[in-house]
A and B are shown apart, each in its own frame.
Chain A
Amino acid sequence: MSERRELTKQEEAIFKKELVQLIPHLRAFARTLAGDAAAADDLAQDAMMKAWDARGSFQLGTNMKAWTFMILRNQFYSEKRRSWRQTQLDQEAAERTLLAVDDPEAPIVLDEMRLALHQLPAEQREALILVGAGGFAYEEAADICGCAVGTVKSRVSRARRALQSILTDGSYERDGAPAGDAMRSILDHAERLSGVR
């Protein structure tokens, strides 16, 4: 399984090209884990380099996106274990960043969504992101998270329910005011965007 081998020049070029194409996705996934944009980019870079160094153990032709996401996720949790205190500080910085919004309209709603996402337990959040935004099948998400498919399914559905109730009832507070209208503006936005009915 973890057989390492030397890639040919051609294989290496293919690997590198695919890896480069995945960078934007790694950045986006890292952002959902780390919150703070700068910390997220560090994480994405580390994951990219780990993937590059491990290229000899990647099976060309298999799902490289899932493979790199797994590397990124492992990297995140091993760093987090090493310095949970630092992570806590990062979290505070992230929340300050999230609250600092200049544009008065749509970004605020995005902001509500980010805040709501960060209220979810980490394992629910990542399952929902992988399946709901990353485009992964439940099976792939299970591989990435190292858990059973059924576990991913239940995490995703619990996350969806929790998000809906956070956004509807404003179960979190923002500058002292409940964000009760978040769901309303998200609905309005979705309608404007794509005519979702």
Chain B
Amino acid sequence: MIEQSPKTTGSRRREQTRAADEARLRQQAIGVRLRQLFDEVVNEPVPDDFLEILRRADDSSKGGAR
């Protein structure tokens, strides 16, 4: 069976392997890009008002609660 068309089978397998490699490469590249997109925001300096709001809430819970 296999000997009937070794060349065709072999080249088809190579073709499939190549396609799978290509797909994997693309997915890896997409992954890199996706993380970069996310990390770009993570690495931005946090705007002051975040910490300011939290500090105010903390103060009022300390002062107000008891």
Q: Is A194 an interface residue (CB 8 A)?
A: yes
Q: Is there an interface contact between A45 and B49, defined as CB atoms closer than 8 Å?
A: yes
Minimal beta-carbon separation of B3 from chain A (angstroms): 35
B31-54 residues at the A interface, CB under 8 angstroms: 31-44, 46-47, 49-51, 53-54
Q: Is there an interface contact between A132 and B53, defined as CB atoms closer than 8 Å?
A: no
A163-B33 Cα distance, complex, nearest whole Å: 12
Q: Is there an interface contact between B34 and A132, defined as CB atoms closer than 8 Å?
A: yes
Write 11 A-B pairs (CB below 8 A) sorted by A numbering: A24-B41, A24-B42, A110-B36, A113-B37, A117-B37, A129-B34, A133-B34, A164-B23, A186-B29, A187-B29, A190-B28
- Contact pick for A133, options B29, B35, B47, B50, CB 8 Å: B35
CB-based nearest A residue for B30: A163
With A110-B40, A133-B38 known to touch, is A27 a contact of B30 (CB < 8 Å)?
A: no
Count of chain B residues with a beta carbon within 8 Å of a chain A beta carbon: 30
Q: Is there an interface contact between A31 and B41, defined as CB atoms closer than 8 Å?
A: yes
List 9 additional contacts besides A28-B40, A164-B27; criterion CB under 8 Å.
A16-B58, A45-B49, A45-B53, A49-B53, A113-B33, A132-B31, A164-B23, A189-B32, A190-B33
Q: Is B20 an interface residue (CB 8 A)?
A: no
Q: Is B19 an interface residue (CB 8 A)?
A: no
Contacts of A186 in B (CB 8 A): 29-30, 33
With A27-B42, A48-B50, A133-B38 known to touch, is A196 a contact of B25 (CB < 8 Å)?
A: yes
Contacts of A197 in B (CB 8 A): 25
A92-B33 Cα distance, complex, nearest whole Å: 24
With A25-B42, A133-B38 known to touch, is A164 a contact of B32 (CB < 8 Å)?
A: no
Contacts of B26 in A (CB 8 A): 164, 168, 183, 187
Q: Is A109 an interface residue (CB 8 A)?
A: yes
A96-136 residues at the B interface, CB under 8 angstroms: 109-110, 113-114, 117, 128-129, 132-134
Contacts of B32 in A (CB 8 A): 189-190, 193-194, 196
Q: Is A172 an interface residue (CB 8 A)?
A: no
